[in-house]
Amino acid sequence: SRLRSNMNFDFLNRGAMLAPMAGVTDMPFRVLCHEMGCPMAVSEMVSAKGYLLAPKDNRATRELLSVDERERGAVALQLFGHEPEIMARAAEELTRGGRYALLDINMGCPVPKIVGNGEGSALMKEPVRAAEIVAAVAKASHVPVTVKMRLGFEAGSETYLLLGQLAQESGAQMITLHARTRSQFYEGRADWSAIGKLKRRVSIPVVGNGDVTCWQDALPLTLGQEFSGYASALRRLIRKLEHVRP
């Protein structure tokens, strides 16, 4: 099954990953993070259907997909969609050239426009469809496939343990868990105990995400927990910086 069976995830031991953020983790921002020692950075999320329908010379698409030689660490491409065959087609084309180290499937975006199309965190409500997407993408991709998810759609309907297990069985080689539900968006506190529970359920690496804006944030969250690494979105830090712009 292509080269993905021998993926080395040693980057998880070399620092925090840069989590994907729409409108933030473009190529110039990733270059800065790589220069500061980031071992793995994830792109802004890309629509599988939008990519396939866009003209091949579309400037916006080219910029969204661009990777620069100054990016010293690895780069993962994040893809979103809800149709297994469309996701698979886009995955096969986008990973063919070797510019990305991983292909990450978005199952965590809480934005109403995305959720309304049955994509992003809406897939937390449809574990079977989500598993079908992972299986189709894993079969088509030229690089290892990973998944980023949340705890569930809302409190009381957490599906992350089931979906994590299904994702692993369907071919995912790593899971990043944002330890909030979709209904929380980015509010409240991330439940890092859930990340440990997922790690005990699956054998693939589990990366913790949520409330990590610096190493001082990370240390207390790790005490007594089992997981494989961090993914920092820096979202709250960026919000703070926006307030102090001249």
**Residue numbers annotated as active site:** 109
Close Cβ partners of 64 (under 8 Å, ≥ 6 residues apart): 26, 43, 44, 46
Packing angle between helix 127-140 and helix 84-94, nearest 10 degrees? 30
From the list 32, 130, 110, the residue with the least C-alpha distance to 72 is 32
Is 45:109 a contact under the CB 8 Å cutoff? yes
Is 96:142 a contact under the CB 8 Å cutoff? yes
> In angstroms, rounded to a whole number, what is the distance separating the alpha carbons of residues 162 and 128?
10
Q: Which amino acid is at 44?
A: E
**Distinct helix (H) and strand (E) counts, the chain:** 10, 8
